Structure 1
């Protein structure tokens, strides 16, 4: 009986973690091999309800993947992710991805062009540079989706 009680205690203790893992949204990240900021961004996603998987691609193939999936050249960053039919380009905060997936706009996805310091995966948020997250429309135009002031 004692072993059964201990086993049940362990199962119930692990249940919230298993449930959170089961509810995590899968997101496929395309990146170059050994990119530390890409891995840091994937950790940010994991901490915020996503289940990221990474696939390494050579630079030229990764750029072609971005363009083929509707990312305008002026919006390019270091990694590209696919989630529920949307493209996520660069160091987009998880909160914006969650918002996108709740609002479901008729768009390509979101982008943070370049690699702004202090964006997720790019250093401490309290020391960040100001940056914008852009919504990429299907015609290639963009609009500011959210803004982050300097920290």
Structure 2
């Protein structure tokens, strides 16, 4: 049974629990040192409340392959967040949805480098339509989100 004294005693712990929950999520990002669009995606993720930890490598392909991502679904960087892998210019809102819904999946990918995706913004505002794919175990995929 709670009374005023126990609620007051518990208040600091409850406040700390709220702060821990609101803390930004860490995203480990593997990229090459020369990739400028990767820097743009990392900045987008930071603005969305994620905390990127960048690891520069000479070649990111061994990392996506290690996670079971086929080459045809690859891109210029790989990230890991909340137990999932993301490949390419996946929008932060798609990652938030993935973390919220928690599907049985490897992660998300935006193959290639579509113009207008996060980190690939065109100066003239041009955008290509593209899909974010959910990577399922066994190499299968399904469309997770469509972007125009």
What interval of TM-score do these two structures reach, taking the shorter chain for normalisation?
0.7 to 0.9
1:142 aligns to what?
141
Using the TM superposition, give the Cα deviation of residue 34 of structure 1 relative to its aligned residue in structure 2, in angstroms: 2.2
State the distance in 2 between where 1:121 and 1:131 align.
14
1:96 aligns to what?
94
Gapped regions of structure 1 (runs ≥ 5)? 1-18
Give deviations 1:34-53, integer Å, cap 9, x for gaps.
21100110000000010001
2:50 aligns to what?
50
Q: How does 1:2-151 map onto structure 2 within 5 Å? A: 23-59=23-59, 62-124=60-122, 126-149=125-148
The alignment's TM-score, normalised by the length of structure 2, stands at: 0.82
The alignment's TM-score, normalised by the length of structure 1, stands at: 0.81
State the distance in 1 between where 2:137 and 2:74 align.
16
Using the TM superposition, give the Cα deviation of residue 72 of structure 1 relative to its aligned residue in structure 2, in angstroms: 1.4
Give deviations 1:101-126, integer Å, cap 9, x for gaps.
00000100000000000000001494
Gapped regions of structure 2 (runs ≥ 5)? 1-18
State the distance in 2 between where 1:107 and 1:69 align.
11
Give deviations 1:14-55, integer Å, cap 9, x for gaps.
xxxxx69x7110000000012110011000000001000111
CA RMSD of aligned residues (A): 1.6
